[in-house]
Structure 1
Amino acid sequence: MKFRLFWKILFGFWLTFICIVVGIWVILTINGAPHNNPMEIEFERSFAEVQLASASAAFHLDGENGLLTLIESWPEKERLRLSYKRLPNKLPDGVITDSIQDKIVVANKMEKPDLQESRVYSRVEKLPDGTFIRLTYNTAKMGQGKKLGPSGVPPELVIIGILGGLIFSSLLAWYLIAPVWRLRMGFKQLTNGVLNVRLKPFMGRRRDEIADLARDFDLMAQRLQFLVESREQLLHDVSHELRSPLARQQVAIELARQIPPRTPELLDRIELETVRMDELVGELLILSRVESGEIVTDEYFDLQELARIIVNNSQFESEQDKIQIKLHSSTITETASSLTVRGDAELVRRALENVIRNAVRHSPCEASVDVTLFAYNDKKTCTITVEDHGPGVPSESLKQIFEPFVRLKKSNSHSTGLGLAIAKRAIVVHKGSIYAENRAGGGLSVFITLPLETSEVEESKD
């Protein structure tokens, strides 16, 4: 059965609403019983007072004829309710009189009969001849024929409770269930591969927990869409990157068959393309690892010492181009004796190495690459700056260079296009940040920020 929760909420609130209406009626009835003043009797009493006042006025204006004329104008059922009787000159015992302008007004407040008996109301008036007359209005049969609902509740109140409760419960149930149904449809669409589904626009002006759930669903769907699209783009780029070296290998093999004397040269070419494919596959494995947020080892390492090792290795590789790599660490010795980072030292090493190698690759011969480490006074973060003297990067491409397989058109390097992408993801995994800016005097500056561990951790490590 569909909308099971909808029917549960509907019937639950509906019955609750009806019980509240009936309960209010019962409480009012119980509280009103000791005073003999239920709602229906009070209405009859007010109506009788109006009728008796009209009859009294008619009697004073034209005597008995005036009273009869008034009664003739009433409906037939109302005529039988009014009666009058002349009284002796002496008032009966118990009748209270008030003197106002030489006129005696008797029983200005009507006498209350026993509500459990006849429900007859009377009024005594003095005539010009000095006699008295009693006007009587009988309401005993006024409420007869009117059927009461369960527990003596008026049927109108029962109908109001049923219809009002049904409408209120239906609206409330739909208000609660509609977004849940939207969520269910959203998950179904995600299951069918529709990754661009979003639920926040359907929530309207809701600011409750269901709207928060829809927002979280949108974030999840957006993340899934990004991951799937990234995987598809990565697969496309990998296929394209592997196609070129494989094609060159096939050409070299065909040339070796056709021109045997060139076989040693062509074998070197095949080996070179094989090494490039091996590097590409290795870079892809690292990229997949850091994109999954996986940190294989969780250890403490000195970032300053790691940077020194990377700079020395990169200096050895760049000697043939006469490029100098300088490590500036004077600011570190003034602020802290060590820069301890917690995480995967191999991933951080790979990230810094890729950034420095990228700077060396785009620097002219006999230029320099400056690597600077700076720890802030609070010693909570460390910033590593890598500056080169190359051509720089167009402003619109400063963010794109950290995406996989992005190469600048002016670049003549034979890199895989994954180095900076791996660096960014490795730094982000360690809750750091990385970005690039063009230098005012030419070249590119890459800023890497990593969180540092506190001194208490360093002491415990010792």
Structure 2
Amino acid sequence: MGRLFWKFFFFIAIAQITATFGVGVLFWIENLERNSHSSEIDLSPPASFMIRSAAATLQFGGAEALRSLINEGREHRLKLYAVDENMKDLMGREVSPKLVEEARAVLKTEKGRRVVELVKAANGHSYLLFIPAPPEEFVGPGGPGPGGREPRRMRDRGPQPLFFPSMPIVVAMVASMVFALLLAWYFSYPIRHLKNAFAQAASGNLDLELEPVMSSRSDELADLGRDFDAMTAKLRTLMESQRRLLHDVSHELRSPIARLQVAIGLARVQDKDKLEITLERIERESVRMDKLVGELLTLSRLEANVPGSMEENIAIQPMLADMINDASFEASANGKHIEGQIDCPVEVKGNPELLYRAIENVLRNAIKHTALDTTVQIHTQVDEVNKLLHLSILDRGPGVPEDELNSIFELFFRSSRTKSNSSGHGLGLSIARRIVEAHNGFIRAANRKDGGLRVDITLPFMADEPAKGQTLDA
């Protein structure tokens, strides 16, 4: 039981107890009000009918006719009083002054005008007509009387003993405590699991899952548990990727460092004629390491989402034309060719340096793997409807196994078909993918039916386009 449990329990219990006590006080006040306003005068509809009949009898038949009516009412257990201004009953009965005062008070009310009447008779006296509230009567198998079992009418004959509803309040308080206990446990139970899961994650254990514990729930706490599982899964993937990256980087750096150490050792014992060859090897390995470190720094910037300014307008067609011209020298030196068919007078918003590097990485990768005396082709297509630029780079290399097509854009990946003769680090296509995605585009690869690899880059372009471009063959 943690602090949150007791906070839930305390506040819920206080709310329930306050509500219960308030309802109990309201009932008690209502009972007090009802007792303070209880009447000793019969206010029922039969009493109203009897009073009107008596008033008509007294007014039109006189006092003797009313006496006869009262005598007849005795047989039906009706006790009607006719009291004059001298507090004397027409039948000579004793009347409580308090009862007469209450009858006069009732007469002044709207309801009392129907159950109490003040009639002036022919003999000059004014009679107050009313019927006292009858005592409790019961009707049972033996007729009216104490022996009956079934209640017929209950009337207050005066102030009743007041009571505070302590027993209902006690029962309601106990029920509130139990309800507060269950509700507090219902909320705090999954939160305790969440607390434990976060503590485990903080200590490095990301294998704990909350889905089995909260699978029976369908509330926001269950959603929080599923979000926690998704978060830990993502963290596991990132940490595994980080470990793999460190392993791959150390592996890639170990080879050139080892060759540098060997070259340095040879330089110390070699004569001056062979020293130049050794120094060239040292220079080559240092350039290789510098290139690797540069690619890793670029990749780190992209992974951290800090690629620099992404608000420049990039004219794609001039960029591709310069890129093709530069790459043609490298391709022709190796007995390969480049053919560019570009007609894309559009502009892309982003970082020109990064985007140039991404496309160049794909292009140089195609030049490196295409066969001798073959041509690397570059095609563009503009989708005016969806405002998308499609750029395709095709080579005549060995291609990639189908099960590796989705992996060639991963860090340090090298295809099984090109691993033996590859001099790269497996970072070029990874960097290209991240740069393209930073420009809200996507990149994919597919094998060509007649041999070679096709890499497609799709980028969104700006709505306002420059003038019509040109087709360039290089």
- Per the normalisation by structure 1, the TM-score is 0.70
The answer as to 2:451 corresponding to 1:430 is: no
**Amino acid paired to 2:373:** E
**Amino acid paired to 1:436:** A
Contact 2:374 2:396 in 1 (8 A): yes
The answer as to 2:219 corresponding to 1:237 is: no
Contact 1:120 1:136 in 2 (8 A): no
The answer as to 2:425 corresponding to 1:408 is: no
Match of 1:95 in 2: 77
The answer as to 2:166 corresponding to 1:179 is: no
Say if 1:114 and 1:186 are closer, same or farther in 2 by CA, change over 3 A. Answer: farther
Contact 2:292 2:425 in 1 (8 A): yes
- Give the alignment partner of residue 352 of structure 2, picking from 345, 350, 362: 345
Counterpart-to-counterpart distance in 2, 1:302 and 1:135? 110
**Amino acid paired to 2:364:** R
Could you list the per-position Cα deviations for residues 368-404 of structure 1 after superposition, in whole angstroms to 9, with x for gaps in the alignment? 1111222212253222111111111011111111111
The answer as to 2:227 corresponding to 1:227 is: no
The answer as to 2:319 corresponding to 1:306 is: yes
Match of 1:9 in 2: 8
Counterpart-to-counterpart distance in 1, 2:163 and 2:392? 85
Counterpart-to-counterpart distance in 2, 1:125 and 1:447? 102
The answer as to 2:219 corresponding to 1:208 is: yes
The answer as to 2:455 corresponding to 1:442 is: no
Counterpart-to-counterpart distance in 1, 2:182 and 2:316? 62
Contact 2:13 2:177 in 1 (8 A): yes
Could you list the per-position Cα deviations for residues 100-159 of structure 1 after superposition, in whole angstroms to 9, with x for gaps in the alignment? xxxxxxxxxxxxx979xxx85444888xxxxx98435699xxxxxxxxxx972252x334
Contact 2:340 2:379 in 1 (8 A): yes
Could you list the per-position Cα deviations for residues 259-292 of structure 1 after superposition, in whole angstroms to 9, with x for gaps in the alignment? 3232111111111111111111111111111111
Counterpart-to-counterpart distance in 1, 2:422 and 2:440? 30
Residue 449 of structure 2 aligns to a residue in which SS?
coil
Match of 1:318 in 2: 331
Counterpart-to-counterpart distance in 2, 1:355 and 1:230? 23
Compute the displacement of 1:255 (Å). Answer: 2.5
Counterpart-to-counterpart distance in 2, 1:444 and 1:124? 105
Residue 400 of structure 1 aligns to a residue in which SS?
coil
Residue 295 of structure 1 aligns to a residue in which SS?
coil
Counterpart-to-counterpart distance in 2, 1:449 and 1:23? 69
- Give the alignment partner of residue 397 of structure 1, picking from 401, 404, 425: 404
Compute the displacement of 1:243 (Å). Answer: 0.9
Contact 2:138 2:144 in 1 (8 A): no
Note the 1:248-267 alignment, pairs <5 A: 248-260=259-271, 261-267=273-279
Compute the displacement of 1:353 (Å). Answer: 0.8
Counterpart-to-counterpart distance in 1, 2:74 and 2:222? 77
Contact 2:382 2:389 in 1 (8 A): yes
Counterpart-to-counterpart distance in 1, 2:355 and 2:2? 53
**Amino acid paired to 2:303:** E
Compute the displacement of 1:249 (Å). Answer: 1.7
Contact 2:139 2:149 in 1 (8 A): no
Greater relative CO (CA pairs within 8 A, separation 6+): 2
- Give the alignment partner of residue 284 of structure 1, picking from 273, 283, 296: 296
Unaligned runs of 5+ in 1: 37-89, 97-112, 127-131, 140-149, 333-337
Q: What is the aligned-residue RMSD (CA, Å)? A: 3.3
- Per the normalisation by structure 2, the TM-score is 0.69
Match of 2:69 in 1: none
Contact 2:371 2:396 in 1 (8 A): yes
**Amino acid paired to 2:191:** V
The answer as to 2:146 corresponding to 1:135 is: yes
Residue 401 of structure 1 aligns to a residue in which SS?
coil
Match of 1:374 in 2: 381
Counterpart-to-counterpart distance in 2, 1:234 and 1:430? 24
Compute the displacement of 1:441 (Å). Answer: 1.3
Match of 1:74 in 2: none
Counterpart-to-counterpart distance in 2, 1:357 and 1:121? 111
Counterpart-to-counterpart distance in 2, 1:114 and 1:381? 95
Say if 1:317 and 1:452 are closer, same or farther in 2 by CA, change over 3 A. Answer: same
Say if 1:281 and 1:25 are closer, same or farther in 2 by CA, change over 3 A. Answer: same
Note the 1:39-78 alignment, pairs <5 A: none
Match of 2:98 in 1: none
Residue 413 of structure 2 aligns to a residue in which SS?
coil
The sequence identity of aligned pairs, in percent, is 38
Compute the displacement of 1:440 (Å). Answer: 1.3
**Amino acid paired to 1:95:** R
Residue 146 of structure 2 aligns to a residue in which SS?
strand
